[in-house]
Structure 1
Amino acid sequence: MRLHHLEITAFGPFSGTERIDFDALSDAGLFLIHGQTGAGKTSILDAVCFALYGRVPGARSRNEATALRSDHAPPGTAPRVVLETTIRGRRLRITRSPKWERPKLRGRGTRVEQAKVVVEEFKQGEWEALATRLDEAGDLIGRLLGMTCEQFCQVAMLPQGEFAGFLRAKADDRRKVLERLFAAEIFTQAEQWLADRRRDAHREAADLRAAAVATADRVAEITGSASPRDAARPLVPAPRPGEPGPEPPDDVEALPAWAAELEAHHADLLAVAESLLAEAGEAREAARAAADQGRALHDRQARHAEAVRRRAALRERASWRAALADRLDAAARADRVVPLIREAASRRREADRARALAADARARVGELVPPGAAEDVLVKAEGARREEIAVLDGRRADAERLRRIGEERTALAEELARLEGEEARLADALEALPGVVEELRARLDDARIAAAARPGAEARVKRARDVLAAAEWRDRVAGQLAEAEQEHRAAVDAAQEARDRLQELRQARLDGMAAALARDLVPGEPCRVCGAREHPEPAVSRGHVPGEEDEERAQAAYERARDRREKAAAKIESLRADLDARLEIAGEAPVEALAAELDAAERALAELTGRAADAERLDAELRRREQELDQARTRLEGVRGALADHRARDRERADEQSRLREDLDAARGDDPTLEARIDRLRGEADALAAAVRAAQDADRAAAELASARAAAARAAADAGFAGPDDALAADLDEARRRDLAEQARRHDDELARVQAVLDDPDIAAAAQAPAPDLEALRRAEEAAEAAYTAAASAAANARRRRERLAELRAELAARVADWRPAARRHAVAERMAGLASGKSPDNRDAMSLSAYVLAARLEQVVAAANHRLARMSAGRYALVHTVDKAAGDRSRSGGGLGLRVADAWTGQARDPVTLSGGESFVTSLALALGLADVVTAEAGGTEINTLFVDEGFGSLDEETLDEVMDVLDGLRDGGRAVGIVSHVAELRTRIPAQLRVRKHRRGSTAVVAV
């Protein structure tokens, strides 16, 4: 932040309007604000702070409604502060007025004017309003500066008197200062949050513990044991058979183990019930087995009788089964011969087709070779044609090249025609353009000469407008002045009459009072007024005596008439001053003549404006024409070069075209084209090759036919057939063969099944055994089933109880598991809350979290202060931050905010109160600068380019003053300006740039001297 200008009106000791140019002071880097005690040096800093935040530092902020406005200012003058400053690169103007009391416009008394503010930003040459509400302005400035009012006062305005107190303060007082400057409330909130968290965690753990105990109650209810809520009472056995469960524990952590022990106890009961169930099951299975064996014996005896009957029926069809096997065997032997017979028939058809194809292919090449030519003659004729085709294929590239040359020459002819036309057009343009350019150049020079006179014409028009406006206003003011003078004369007469009337009433009232006193006079008795005993001429009343109300009314009428007279006189003075000002501008010239002069000036300006516009247009046209001329010259050179190149290329292509055409005519021979010759030769070669292949295929088919017939005859003999025809007769189709085979298979399978039943030793033995008593076996099975059902019901009840117990045990374990982290969280919250509040034994310094943070900030301040204190004290003193609580210190911080001063000469650490005045000032200044550095960093590093150091230099010796001034001079690094507020006379010779504040009877004034 950098200050530029400050304007103060009726603020503090300044009764009028004072303007301070901080830019002029800041150019020197270090400047002095000096003046007499009480002149208002600190009030300038108050004005800066008030403009930014609407407040003044320290105790002066109280009773702002009456304390900020100057007591020396006229009653109706509004207090106001206007500050121009740059914050984060934005130029702002802040206009702020405090709340103040002004006289009422009518009647007596005062009226309260509320505080006002306007924040503007300089953008694009104009001031643009940003905020007019107090809260909006405060939020905007706070966001830009990034710090509170207290922090700004500490960073930009170092109040040495306060920091001497801060240096010597107790821990609690020092804590209050640090809490105002640093955002320590978040850590206080953290302490409260931890305390709230401890309470919530305790509530959560208690709720979860109650849920676990409730589940344990249900476990006890299921098992008939005592409830954990009754753990303090002796265990009473439940009214049910069996052993009671274990006694429930007092500790929630032990409840899962108690439930596990109960579950084990009931697991033993379930084992006994399941053992009885197993015995009943064995008896039921034995009865079932006996019944099943009786039914099985009965079934096996029935199956044996059925198998004997079925075997007799199958033996009656044995001859039919033998004939069926012979037919299938002949068909199987024919399977090896029939494929060869069919292959021989296929080969015969293939040999007939190959002979026909060979004859047809020989007929197609009858004109190419002699009749009956051998196969090698056909092969040689084909080879000769293919060799010629290969030679002609090489000529195809020449034919393609000849075609491309023709296309290229056509394109060249078209391009030559276009270039020749463009050459002629460019030549014509080059003849005409130089003259056009010269003409435009001459016209542009004339237009520029005329346009140069436009500023003068504009000034003449502005002057004529101002003079005409002044003349018109002059004439209006002259008329108003005449009316005002007439009103003033009437007001003077009325005021004189009212004054005379008042004096007459007063005299009449005095006369009336004298007459009233005279009526009470008694000869020989002293007068109550003068004490005389003689009364030679007592006053006598001559009419009505006015009262006090009559006199007050006359006095009010006179005052009103006097006010009207004074207002009329002031109006005349204002109008006369306005008329004089207009006469200085317009003189006595008539309005009509001045209007004519303005009209002539405006016409001249309009003409010059038009010519100026022509100059701009002509300048653009000239540049375009000159560019066009240069482009035409360049283009003509390029066109002529392209013409020469294209003509040379056309001649080359013509020569190549003639040579290629002669070569291709010789190659194609009698054929119309090269491709036609290649196609004819390829067709003949393909026909010769086909004839050779067809002859070879016919010979190969005849040989394969003879081989197939011999193979079929041999296979028929090997299979036991007289010939291939017998084998074909024995062949069966697949469907008939499957049908016969299925009939044989069904007969064989049926016979095998019947024999398997008869061969089964169990069935054979059963056939020899006596028949079983099935009814007796059924009754024994039903009795065993009833006994088993009763045992199963008892075991199911025990199992359900144990399963429910297992579910509740799992639920109890889950409840306890949920309770454990809550209990741990409560323990952690308890410990953390104790640590943060400083009440835990683990907090060795018994220091709260907020106090610890402030102690860390104070440690940073001490580190920053010692850099400057070492230099200002020539290395003797250094501040030391201590965490020990002083004796008798009842600070709620629990210590951590102590300060000591280490003396390098004695090697001892001293209490700051033992420092002398000069030593205390140097130490306080270093502490203030260090705190300013830390506050600036805490606020986000906002750059403060203008800062002030307020008083305290009078207590320094010359050598220490030199060291302090060197340190302050070092603050100017980076373009920062430092203002020293002091009345010490020696500083006036050391610092040439000064702001002199003087006090007078009617208020203070401020003058910049650079």
Structure 2
Amino acid sequence: MRAITLTIQAFGPYRDKQRIDFSSLGEEAIFLITGPTGAGKTTIFDAMCFALYGRASGSDRDQDSMRSHFAQEGESTYVEFLFELRGKLYRIVRMPKQMRRKERGEGWKEEPARAELYITHLDNEKLMATKVKEVNDYIEEVMGLDYDQFRKMIMIPQGEFRKLISENSKEREDILQKIFKTQFYSELTDYLKDQSKTLEKEIEQFQWKIEQEVGKIHWGTEAEVTLEQEEPQKIIDLLGKRMENQNSLIKQEQRQLELLSSSTDKLQTQFHEARHLHEQFTEQQKLLEEKKLLQSQESSMSALQEELKWARQADEVKGFEQQWKDREEERKKAEIDQEAKAQHRIRTEAEFSNIEKEHKELEEKEKKRQDLKKEWEQKEEERNKLTHFLKIESQLTEMTQKLTRSKEQVTALEQELKRLKSERHQLKEISKDERKVTSQMYEVKNEVVHLTKQVKDLKRLAKEWDVLKEMRASYQQFMKDFRQMEKEQKNAKSYYEAALEEIREHHAYTLSFQLENGAPCPVCGNSHHPAPAVQPAQVVSQTRLEQLKQEADEKQKSFQQMQDEAVQVKSKGETQRQLTDTLFEEYKKVVGAMDEASIQSALKQSEQSLNTKRKLSEDLARQAEEMEQSVKKLENIEQREEELNSKIEKAQQEWHTSYQEQTRLQTQKESFQENYSFETTNPQKLKQLTEKAEDSYKEELKKWENVQKRYSKLRDQLQQAKVAEEEGIKYVKQAQEAEEIRKEKFNQTLVQFQFSNVESYQNSLLSKESIEEKQEKIDQYKQQKAIIQERLHSLNEKLADQQKPDLEALHTKWEEEKQKLTKQQQIVNELEMALSQNKQVYATMETLLSEQGDLAQAYYDIAELAQLSRGDNHLRLSLERYVLAAFLDEIIVQANIRLDQMTDHRYQLVRSDALAKRGAQSGLDLEVIDHHTGQKRSVRTLSGGEGFKASLSLALGMADVVQSHAGGVQLDTLFIDEGFGTLDEVSLEQAIDCLRSLQDGNRMLGIISHVPQLKEEIPAKLQIQTGPAGSSVEFVFQ
């Protein structure tokens, strides 16, 4: 990825639109980003990272703080980034979440974050994504890096990579885990641990199941088995033998069951045959009794049959009687109806006579009704004209009042306009110096910021100077003690060596007694002994020798500890000296000399200057605020003047329009007064007169209309009543004739069916249900009689040679045999059920044992893997840490290439192989080899400058390793934020040479720093300047 252009607006300290063209660097691959503190140097990184991933570059920056405080209400915050990757141009436009004033109404609304991604290929730009998540996903895909990897490899913010050196092993693991995405190995470890626990639980569950199956075994009362802590396999063998015994026993019991079943079936057959014969004897006796009963009912059945005969004949006559009764009823109803019609005709004639008289009287009053109608219409017309006249008068009065108000409004607006012109003139005089005061205020504010930093740094210089003096005094005392310890260690060593030499001489003297001429020496093997050892003057005892050795070892150990401590004390002193010198160099012109008096004097003068500038800044800020208020008020007044001029013009136009309308209405009023006169000008009174005339007319009209309706209606009703009466008389006569015919027909039918009179006929009548019931009774009697005779005949033939059996004795014998069979069947069932369950238990236990064995083998493998992967091994190294350690080794190899160059071959980073204390995880701790002392020590002991070199080396090594592992990742741009101020001149030159080597391969490198030497060494600078309206940025080339 190579940056081409970056455009920002209302972002951080940049209010106005800024466009940074990285392509203008040309052959200059390294450029310096310079500017005052807080001007917005790191914001350039933030904007680039925000454009790509929607987040700032540093861990202490968030999206909500991106909008510039200098931005006006209508200005949008956005970032546009154009970069080249693998021959394609990518352009991203991204806007953070921000508040905007509502277009309608008052208040603010929140605009959500937005993002757009374009790709240019062969001069054709194509929109690829418009949603924030889509853009983020697309960028991660084409870059091959996520947000954490990008900011660790391309952007190195202040202090971010120092964490990789200073943090403990666990936090270093978290950092490397995010970069190399090794969570998979941690998840694999957790998976193996969970699988191990799961398998262990499953094995326990299988054991429980086996115990449950053992409890289900039926050993039987005849089997003698004792199971005390027996193995499952032995229990299965015993169960197999038990099932063989059960099979034999079942066969014996089944043979006995078959014999009992055969004898029971024979007794059952005998009993059923006897019971059937007994039932036939019982049935024969019952039928004889029923036959006797039917013979006793024969006379009553004959009488019932005769009654049924006359009832059927009466039923034939009943239809003719009903026809006669129906005609009689019709005749009576016709006579009643005829009487009602005659009475209705009489009443209608009387009512019509009265309405005919009233109709004639009202018909003669037609002229009076027309006169009343005309009077009503005249009153209505007069009322309408009066309403129109009064409306004109009202409009005229209202228009006169409106003219008066318009004139007063114009006068008031002209007076207000005159006052505003006077006030505007005064405010213009006040606001002339507004820009001058504002510029002076920002200059003083910058001085206050500079002096505040200067006072803070001088206080720190004074504090660090005191620390340095204390460390120098401590160092002198320490070196005095160290030299004394060195002397004591040398003396103890020489005492021990001298005593050891004495013992050796004494030992040689002792051996010389064993030497013989011609015999080989036991030490050198020579047969000649020209100079045997002589007796020493004094010999040290073995106890004293061991005491001297212990004293020499203790002194050597103490001396070694003080020697290590001396290196650390010297290193800390050197670090403190470098820190103090760095602070002094920045304010050398202010302080003058490096002593306490000069530092305190410079601090006092700086504090006095700061207080003076702060007071001046506050005064200027107050003046600027007052002037700013005046400017705003002046703008409001000018706007108000425009509004007043517009209102005066509008008011004058309204007055002219109203005057014309007043003239028109006055003319209409005068015309009405000339042409019309009114009985009264009181609208209410005239309304009452009109309504009275209307009511009189409508009342007479309503009377006439009602009489007309009643006259027509009664006339028609009278005609209808006369016609109905005539038709009724005819219908009565016809009904009487029909009744006589039907009565004669009924009498003839009685004679025909042999009824002597009407009374005998009526006594014979029965309902249809009674006839059917009696007929059914007769039929049932006949049918039952025939059935009994037929069944008795059949039974008499069958039982002619038979005797009645003894059922109770047969049934008792059969029941006894059945009980024996049931008991035997129960024995067989229980044996078969026990055998079936034992077979099922046998098969289940074999399956459970087999599966338990497979699980146990799997558990042993998984448990061992889980134990190794979680770091429960002699190295205390988990699987994930093992992988991370491999990545860290690669990073260290690449980092040492640059660290070796920047430290003049002094330091070399190594990964510690020491085991962590108290059971903690190991494998990711860092140490540094100091080739000046040949000793290893923790990277935390490095000074500020040394720590920066190590951090920078690790950062560059990290970028190389990640790029080599992430296939297709192309890193052509790198940014470094601060840290060079902790380096001396030689180290700085070494660091610059190291960074220049990164230019190989057309890589672009941007550096943020305040170090003067970098400004001289690097010709291309991205210059950032501050001002009252925010910061601005541009490239400057020396």
TM range (shorter): 0.3 to 0.5
TM-score by length of 2: 0.43
TM-score by length of 1: 0.44
